[in-house]
Amino acid sequence: MLSFDHLTVAAATLLLVLLSVFVHYEASFRLRRILQRRQSLRRRARMLILIIGLFFAHVGEVGLFGFGGWLLYNYGGMASNGAIGGLETSAELLDFFFLSIASYTTVGFAEAYPLEALRFLFGVESLIGFMLITWSASLSFLEMQHYWQNMEQDK
């Protein structure tokens, strides 16, 4: 049977997934519009704008999950359950940011790892992180493909 902690984490996870997809969509859409409007930009500048913009979108998404985990831990009553393992002190906001980076990038956990109901949050973050990173790779590929095709035409 699901506990209140599990239901709370499931609801928070759903909200964070939706927010992350929204952030990524908006960032991708706006970056693409910037690139379409600035056709006069050099190819290198276009790629740098895209890559740096996508990087900041990913950092924001990681931050959403890290902050969400921190809120659940501190205000969702999960700190008393020992919801973070491997830490000698109580978990701080930066510890949750680290957990979020490890999950989002699917690198895996090292000295700190989620326990109890928080495993669901960070497990789902791995899936959505993989999907959003792949989305960014696709956008980058499409821009590079356009770049390479125009290089051939310039000859």
Q: Residues 9-64: pLDDT tens digits?
A: 999 999 999 999 999 999 999 999 998 888 788 888 888 999 999 999 999 999 99
* DSSP-based three-state secondary structure for 128: helix
- Tokens 């830490």 correspond to 87
CA distance 124 to 104: 9
- Which domain CATH number covers 98? 1.10.287
Is residue 51 within a helix (H) or strand (E), and if so which, with residue range? helix 43-75
pLDDT tens sequence across 124-139: 999 999 999 999 999 9
CA distance 127 to 104: 8
Give the contacts of 114 (CB within 8 A, at least 6 positions apart).
Answer: 69, 83, 84, 85, 99, 121, 122
**The tokens of 131 are what?**
């999907």
Which structural domain, as residue segments, surrounds residue 16?
Answer: 4-154
* Number of domains the chain is built from: 1
Q: Contact 100/122 with Cβ under 8 angstroms? A: yes
